[in-house]
Amino acid sequence: MSEGVNQADRPLVRDADQSGQPRDLFSKFDDVIHTRETLLASGVEDPFGLVMEQVLSPTRAICNGRDTILLGTYNYMGMTFDPDVIEAGKRALDDYGSGTTGSRVLNGTYAGHKAVEQALKDFYAMDHAMVFSTGYQANLGIISTIAGKGDYIVLDIDSHASIWDGCALGNAEVVPFKHNDIVAMDKRLGRIPAGAGKLVVLEGVYSMLGDIAPLKEMVAVARKHGAMVLVDEAHSMGFIGEHGRGVAEAQGVIDEVDFVIGTFSKSVGTVGGFCVSNHPKFEIMRLVCRPYVFTASLPPSVVATAATSIRKLMHGSNKRAHLWENSKRLHGGLRELGFTLGTDEPQSAIVAVIMPDLEHGAAMWEALLHEGLYVNLARPPATPAGMTLLRCSLCAEHSAEEVETILGMFERAGKAVAII
């Protein structure tokens, strides 16, 4: 290729300050591009480009050509290969076809959508359930719709991106408070002008560090100020609480929560999101919530697998007990090995290992992958306080022996990259 052609092929990067020409819209990503190029130039396997060529079970897959134990999925209850769940999906494909090609409010509500909403109402013992196409859209839709102009949203600073995006999509005043800080939340609620609508948004389990919220105290504070409460229980459904309804159930305040947001893409083992509520006017949301109305509904096979899985999760207390055992053993074992963890005690199925920096984190991630273990490498902006984390999420289908194998892998990898 000639030099001239080479020159012409190079994308023009314009700078408005110097030439008066419009700036390249992609220039805002230059820092991210640079960080990524620096990381990959060190020779590390791309932590954000992993491919699972074969999935053998909820806990095993062939990743980048290697037989790998999965410790970085949200398949907490191991429902993805449940025979009843698979069978329900196959039957729905045969009976209803591959997709609905329409919105829930037009041609996109099939018997299966009503059935999965009934399963959710039974699971949570609540009056209303509304299913969205993803968990992200559930937060996006509910938060942006119920909190409007002149209303106030008071939320934890470590909230998930879908919560922040729900705030950004709406017109309410957005007031964050320091993570899990009850006093800071109380003060902010107390300063909201009289008469304004108030929505407090909390999560049961915060997914980066795997820590839980003091919902009992926080819900009481919200109630004291007359605020409505929305709790995202994405990472606790099926696992935490006597019936697997989440942290609000475990702390005895689920009846004081106005809206529970959840997802099918974690313990339920498929994809989709939902909101359950006892609010008497809740059903109107189906007509006014744009991320619900202006998108296609979930395929029949997905809602069929979700409904079957949710009903099985109601009777999952043995699996819940085993998952707690796994979480406690992994947390305790990693601590004994000398790793720094995100919580002092295991609080959920997530155990976060804090890395000194991105370079060590990526090296450790790669060493673990070579050992045959997949975990999540998490870095800013997803993580709080600029931390780099190796996030381990356990599954009820991990055997006790597998957890011991995992600890051995962590020990060898940690020594190889000089973190322990």
From the CB of 272, what's the least distance to another protein, in Å? 29
Min CB(152)–another protein separation in Å = 8
Crossing angle of helices 83-96 and 300-313, in 10° steps, is 150
For residues 152 and 365, which CB has a smaller minimum distance to another protein in the complex? 152
Smallest separation (angstroms) from another protein to the CB of 342:
16
**Tokens linked to 103:** 């919105």
Residue for token pair 């969205």: 132
CB nearer another protein, residue 178 or residue 412: 178
Q: CB nearer to another protein: give 157 or 400.
A: 157
Nearer to another protein, 56 or 183 (CB): 183
Residue with smaller CB distance to another protein, 185 or 313 = 185
Residue number with CB closer to another protein (211 or 233): 211
Q: How many CB atoms lie within 10 A of CB 12?
A: 7
Nearer to another protein, 151 or 217 (CB): 151
Task: Show the tokens assigned to 14.
Answer: 């314009």
**240 in helix, strand or coil?**
coil
C-beta closer to another protein: residue 198 or 398: 198
In whole angstroms, the minimum distance from the beta carbon of 175 to another protein comes to: 5
Question: Degrees (nearest 5) of the Cα angle 389, 392, 396?
Answer: 165
Q: What is the C-alpha to C-alpha distance for residues 387 and 355, in angstroms, rounded to an integer?
A: 7
In terms of Cα–Cα distance, which of 361, 384, 353, 358 is closest to 71? 353
- How is the beta sheet containing 52-57 ordered, strand by strand? 52-57, 60-63, 66-70, 373-374
Question: Which 3 state secondary structure label does DSSP give 23?
Answer: coil
Measured in degrees and rounded to the nearest 5, phi and psi for residue 339 equal -80, 150
In angstroms, what is the minimal distance from the CB of 10 to another protein? 30
Residue at 417: amino acid letter: V
**Closest distance to another protein from the beta carbon of 284 (Å):** 26
Please name which of 143, 172, 154, 117 lies closest in space to residue 285, comparing C-alpha atoms: 143
Q: Which is nearer to another protein, 52 or 182 (CB)?
A: 182
Helix, strand, coil share of the chain (percent; to 5): 45, 20, 40
Least distance from C-beta 7 to another protein, angstroms? 34
Alpha helices, H only, 241-373: 247-250, 285-288, 290-293, 300-313, 317-337, 358-371
CA atoms within 13 A on the CB side of 376: 19
Smallest gap from Cβ 23 to another protein, in A, equals 17
How far is 125 from 75, CA to CA, in rounded Å?
A: 24
Cβ atoms 273, 120 nearer than 8 A? no
Q: Report the chain's C-alpha Rg in angstroms.
A: 23
| Closest distance to another protein from the beta carbon of 386 (Å) | 7
Residues that bind another protein (CB under 8 A): 152, 157, 167, 173-178, 184, 187-188, 191-192, 384-386
Residue given tokens 């909403």 in the structure block: 117
Q: Say how far apart CA 222 and CA 198 lie, in whole Å.
A: 9
Nearer to another protein, 364 or 378 (CB): 378
Helix or strand (DSSP H, E) at 186: helix 182-190
Which amino acid is it at 282?
F
Q: Which is nearer to another protein, 52 or 174 (CB)?
A: 174
Q: Taking the complex as a whole, how short is the minimal distance between the CB of residue 42 and another protein, in angstroms?
A: 25
CB of 221 to another protein, least distance (A): 16
